[in-house]
Amino acid sequence: MKSLAEQYVCTVCGYNMAGYLPDNCPFCGATKDRFITSQECSARYGVVETPVFHICQVNNEA
Ligand SMILES: [Zn+2]
C-alpha cells in the first residue's frame, strides 16, 4: 500500500500529475497508456536527482 500520492508523467509532453491518472492528458490529450509513473520514468531514463518530469520531456525525443 502506498502512503504517498503516485506521480504520473505523460511521455508525450512531459506533463506531471500527482495522485491521479486521467483518461487523457489534460495538456496534450494523450491516452493514459502514454503515462508512466515517476518511478518508471526514473528507471527508464536513469534519472538520479533531477526532477523526473523535466528529464522525461527532454529525453522523449529519442
Ligand atoms: Zn501530455
Beta bridge partners of 35: 10
Q: What's the 3 CA to ligand 1 centre distance in angstroms?
A: 25
pTM exceeds 0.85: no
CA-based end-to-end distance of the chain: 34
Contact status, residue 21 vs residue 35, Cβ threshold 8 Å: yes
The CATH classification number of 7-59 equals 2.20.28
Cα 52 to Cα 24: distance, rounded to the nearest angstrom:
20
Q: What's the 30 CA to ligand 1 centre distance in angstroms?
A: 5
Report the candidate in 52, 35, 34, 31 with the shortest Cα–Cα distance to residue 43: 52
Q: pLDDT tens track of the chain, all 62 residues? A: 555 678 899 999 999 888 888 899 999 999 999 999 888 877 877 755 555 555 555 555 55
Find the DSSP H helices in 1-62: 38-45, 52-59
Q: What's the 34 CA to ligand 1 centre distance in angstroms?
A: 8
Count, residues in the chain: 62
Q: What's the 25 CA to ligand 1 centre distance in angstroms?
A: 5
